[in-house]
Amino acid sequence: MNIKHNKEDILRKGMELFRLNGYHNTGTNEIIKEAGISRGSFYNFFKDKDDFGIQVLDFYGVWSTDYMKQLLNDKKLNPKQRLINMFDEFVEGYKKENYKWGCLLIGMTQELGQINSAFTEACNRNFESFLNVFEPCIKEGQQDGTISKNEEARALAITVLSMYNGALVLMKSGLHHEPLTAFQGQLKLMLAV
Amino acid sequence: MNIKHNKEDILRKGMELFRLNGYHNTGTNEIIKEAGISRGSFYNFFKDKDDFGIQVLDFYGVWSTDYMKQLLNDKKLNPKQRLINMFDEFVEGYKKENYKWGCLLIGMTQELGQINSAFTEACNRNFESFLNVFEPCIKEGQQDGTISKNEEARALAITVLSMYNGALVLMKSGLHHEPLTAFQGQLKLMLAV
DNA sequence: TTGCAATTAGATAGATCAGTCTAATTGATT
DNA sequence: AATCAATTAGACTGATCTATCTAATTGCAA
């Protein structure tokens, strides 16, 4: 038998390429070359490029959600501090990659949203799973008095996610770190009681 | 002589199509068909599709900036109210189109950001011109005491733009009106002294 | 050693798309 | 009526990309 490939490794490589260059600007040739597999193997794992794209989206969503859960469920800090620290880590990550990466869900939504409903649904369910991690943490902070009760937990979760997503858009458009700094500053003000 | 075409009409149609379906999902065939011109005419006006794309971006940027200026310079209301009303109008516009449209700058940044630096620069300069309309209005509000001084005017302008952009992303990903409502609510809280 | 299933390289088909080119047409001008 | 520049339709080319197919290779198992 030849090398038994790990499907996750291919998905991870696709995630990287799509985040850097977008869906249409990443060919299947580039994917298989970068993943170190053969064309036949790729089409053995995935029905077609769209199927691969959807699976990459869900892989990214689960991967991100798990990471967020890990950071937001650590009860050593209060909920507000956990949120702030989590975004600090994310910002650090983007900085480390010289602001070249983007959020896959944002990119895919923009690029394929109106074209293929399977992509819209995938983006939507993964954004929802982000919100479903934020919201309980915010609610916990509202109950223990560390986070503002000016808005419902879900609305606040949506606003935080919006602000973060929007900062990533401006970051990628060439403003680099400035919108991330503004986001970090505003996040603290926004959560404050 | 045949019909003398208006370059602006072609740019406007391109803007519509790119906002709905993205850059790669809009072919030159669709553009010329929708704009009602011939292939030859298109390539008489524009060097190639990329040249067209850049000109559409700047057209969108100038068009949006002019509209914002008009709304934010109307001295009948205080600066805070002008900002709130402006975004209310924008939100109403997206609602009217059933949340199918997106912001062209966001889409182009995501789709072509890392690929073609001319696109990145165009997105960047147009986002900057948005900020250069927001900032003086916010500064004016900070001086007359209607807008919070917790953040510098530019940082606040960036945050507002981020939050708005992020809400548009979630809107297009299928959440429709909910992120827009959350944005409108948070905007008021954020600007409040 | 032999057989076999998985994997590979790479050719190839088929579709799509950008951009060029040509011949015909239009309509204002002289 | 004749001219001519602008415009048009649409064929065509070449490039690119997805997806299929084939023949060769690998390496485990019998």
Domain ranges of chain B: 56-191
Element (H, E) at A75: none
Subunit contact A158:B182, Cβ cutoff 8 A: yes
- DSSP-derived letter for residue A182 is H
A 120-139, residues with C-beta < 7 Å of strand D:
none
Q: Are A39 and A33 in contact (CB under 8 A)?
A: no
Subunit contact A186:B112, Cβ cutoff 8 A: no
Size of interface A-B (CB pairs under 8 A): 178
Average of per-residue pLDDT across A86-112 = 95
Contact positions of strand D to protein Cβ (< 7 A): 5-11, 16-23, 25-28
Subunit contact A167:B167, Cβ cutoff 8 A: no
The CATH number that domain B56-191 falls under is 1.10.357.10
d(CA A56, CA A14): 7
| Token pair recorded at residue B55 | 């000109």
d(CA A97, CA A124): 26
Which among B102, B127, B161 has the least Cβ separation from residue A110? Answer: B102
* B76 Cα to chain A: minimum distance (Å): 29
Q: Are B180 and B171 in contact (CB under 8 A)?
A: yes
The mean pLDDT of chain B is 93
| Token pair recorded at residue B119 | 């696109």
pLDDT at residue A148 greater than cutoff 50: yes
Subunit contact B158:A179, Cβ cutoff 8 A: yes
| Token pair recorded at residue A139 | 């609610």
Residue B20, CA distances (Å) to A108, B24, B48, B185 in order:
14, 11, 21, 27
**Which CATH topology does A50-191 take?**
Tetracycline Repressor; domain 2 (1.10.357)
Q: Are B157 and B165 in contact (CB under 8 A)?
A: no
Residues 118-177 of B with CB under 8 A from A: 120-121, 123-124, 127, 150-151, 155-156, 158-159, 161-167, 169-170, 172-175
Residue B4's pLDDT is what? 62
Residue A100, CA distances (Å) to A18, A144, A177, B113 in order:
12, 38, 11, 9
B25 touches chain A (CB under 8 A): yes
Residues from chain B contacting residue A164 (CB–CB below 8 Å): 166
d(CA B83, CA B69): 11
| Token pair recorded at residue A63 | 């991967």
pLDDT at residue A95 greater than cutoff 90: yes
Residue A1's pLDDT is what? 47
Residues in Cβ contact with B192 at an 8 Å cutoff, skipping those fewer than 6 apart: B148
Torsion angle of alpha carbons A64, A181, A151, B94, nearest 10°? Answer: -80
Q: How distant is C1' of D19 from CA of A52, in Å?
A: 13
Count of residues in chain A: 193
Q: How distant is C1' of C27 from CA of B63, in Å?
A: 34
| Crossing angle of helices A117-143 and A153-170, rounded to 10° | 120
d(CA A89, CA A42): 33
d(CA A171, CA A95): 10
* B1 Cα to chain A: minimum distance (Å): 39
d(CA B91, CA B85): 10
Residue B192's pLDDT is what? 86
Residue A113's pLDDT is what? 80
Q: How distant is C1' of C3 from CA of A5, in Å?
A: 23
Q: Are A119 and A113 in contact (CB under 8 A)?
A: yes
Cβ neighbours of A46 (radius 10 Å): 21
* B131 Cα to chain A: minimum distance (Å): 11
Subunit contact A159:B183, Cβ cutoff 8 A: yes
Answer for A63: CB within 7 Å of strand D: no
Task: Name the one residue in this structure whose structure tokens are 């403003």.
Answer: A175
Residues 30-89 of A with CB under 8 A from B: none
User: Which chain B residue has its CA at the smallest distance from A105's CA?
Assistant: B173
d(CA A45, CA A43): 5
Residues A6-51: pLDDT tens digits?
788 899 999 999 999 999 999 999 999 999 898 988 998 999 999 9
Q: Are A176 and A99 in contact (CB under 8 A)?
A: yes
- DSSP-derived letter for residue B145 is T
The model's confidence at residue B148, banded by pLDDT at 50, 70 and 90, is: very high
Residue A122's pLDDT is what? 96
Closest residue, by C-alpha, to the C1' of C9:
A38
Residue A8's pLDDT is what? 87
Q: How distant is C1' of C24 from CA of B116, in Å?
A: 39
User: Which chain B residue has its CA at the smallest distance from A23's CA?
Assistant: B111
| Token pair recorded at residue B162 | 């981020």
Residues B50-94: pLDDT tens digits?
999 999 999 999 999 999 999 999 889 999 999 999 999 999 999
Q: Are B173 and A124 in contact (CB under 8 A)?
A: yes
Beta-sheet strands, E only, within chain A? none
Alpha carbons within 13 A on the beta-carbon side of A36: 7
